[in-house]
C-alpha cells in the first residue's frame, strides 16, 4: 500500500443514469453480457416519484461505456491545465463504429477508435446528449475539441497498488465492473458480496483513500447524484472487489 494518503484526482464528468456496459443478449460467438434482468431490477428498485430520477430513467440508453471514456478524456484534459469543459458523450455514442451505440460497447474499443481516427471530442454544447443512437456528425480537423493521442489498457487484478500509481500519474481511469449488486448500494465501502464474474458496467475511478482502516477506491458512477454517495461508490482496495481492477484504461492526451 502506498502509505496513508487520500488521493482525490480531479474529475469532470456528467452525472446521468446509464445502463450496463454490454446491452445485448449473449450469443454463442460473442462475449456480450445479458443484462435484461439487471435493467428490469434497476427500474423496479427506483420506481419513485423523483423528478430527477424519472428524467434519468426515461432518457437513457446503454451508454455507460461512452460516459466512462468521455469522463476520462475531459478530466485528463482539465488536469493538464485546460479550461474545464464537458465533452460530448453523444458524439462517441454515434460515431464509435466499433461499438453498438445504445446497445452497448467497450471503453477500450472507444479509446482505440479515438486514437486511430484522431477525431476530436467536441464540447457537449455542440453535440448534446440524446440518449439514443443517432447519425454521426462529422467535424473538420480544424474544429475545436480534444483528441486522444494514446491510451493504455491494463489488467491490475492482484496489482491494485500499481493501479494506484497509474491513477496518480495519468488521472482518472475508465474501468469495467460487475455492478449487479450495486442496485442495493446506499453508501459506505463495498467490501464483500460483489463478484468479478460478470462485467456489465463502465465507470470512472477518480481517486483512493488509504487513511482509514479500510482503504478504498473512489469511483464515480453515472446513475445520478441521488444514488450512492451523491453519485459515487467506494470500493475496497485489494481483492479485486467488483472486478474493479480487471479492465482499466488510462488516457493520454
Pairing between strand 201-209 and 6-8? Answer: antiparallel
Beta pairing partners, 201: 177
Evaluate whether 19 touches 42 at the Cβ level (below 8 Å): yes
**Cα dist. 49→16, 52, 234 in Å?**
17, 9, 27
DSSP string, 96-155: -TTS-TTBB--HHHHHHHHHHH-PPBPBGGGS---SS--PPPP--TTS--B---EEEEE-
Paired strand residues for 251: 151
Residue with cell 458480496: 193
Active site residue ranges: 64, 201, 221
For residues 144-183, one letter each, b for 16 or more C-beta atoms within 10 angstroms of the residue's C-beta and e for the rest, the string is ebbebeebeebebbeebeebbebbeebbbbbbbbbbbebe
Q: How many CA atoms lie within 13 A of 27 on its CB side?
A: 4
Grid coordinates representing 67 are 460516459
Amino acid at each position: 500500500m502506498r502509505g496513508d494518503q487520500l488521493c482525490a484526482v480531479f474529475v469532470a464528468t456528467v452525472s446521468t443514469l446509464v445502463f450496463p456496459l454490454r446491452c445485448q443478449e449473449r450469443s454463442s460467438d460473442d462475449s456480450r453480457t445479458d443484462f435484461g434482468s439487471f435493467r428490469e431490477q434497476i427500474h423496479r428498485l427506483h420506481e419513485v416519484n423523483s423528478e430527477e430520477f424519472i428524467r434519468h430513467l426515461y432518457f437513457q440508453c446503454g451508454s455507460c461505456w461512452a460516459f466512462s471514456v468521455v469522463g476520462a478524456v475531459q478530466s485528463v484534459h482539465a488536469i493538464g491545465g485546460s479550461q474545464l469543459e464537458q465533452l460530448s458523450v453523444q458524439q462517441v455514442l454515434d460515431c464509435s463504429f466499433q461499438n453498438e451505440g445504445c446497445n452497448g460497447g467497450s471503453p477500450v474499443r472507444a479509446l482505440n477508435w479515438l486514437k486511430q481516427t484522431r477525431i476530436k471530442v467536441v464540447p457537449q454544447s455542440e453535440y448534446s446528449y440524446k440518449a439514443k443512437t443517432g447519425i454521426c456528425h462529422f467535424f473538420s480537423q480544424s474544429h475545436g475539441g480534444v483528441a486522444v493521442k494514446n491510451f493504455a489498457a491494463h489488467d491490475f487484478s492482484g496489482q491494485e497498488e500499481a493501479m494506484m500509481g497509474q491513477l496518480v500519474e495519468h488521472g482518472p481511469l475508465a474501468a469495467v465492473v460487475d455492478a449487479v449488486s450495486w442496485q442495493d448500494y446506499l453508501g459506505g465501502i463495498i467490501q464483500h458480496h460483489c463478484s468479478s464474474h460478470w462485467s456489465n458496467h463502465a465507470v470512472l475511478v477518480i481517486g483512493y483513500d488509504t487513511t482509514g482502516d479500510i482503504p478504498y477506491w473512489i469511483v464515480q458512477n453515472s446513475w445520478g447524484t441521488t444514488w450512492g454517495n451523491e453519485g459515487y461508490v467506494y470500493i475496497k482496495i485489494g481483492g479485486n472487489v467488483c472486478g474493479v481492477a480487471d479492465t482499466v484504461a488510462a488516457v493520454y492526451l
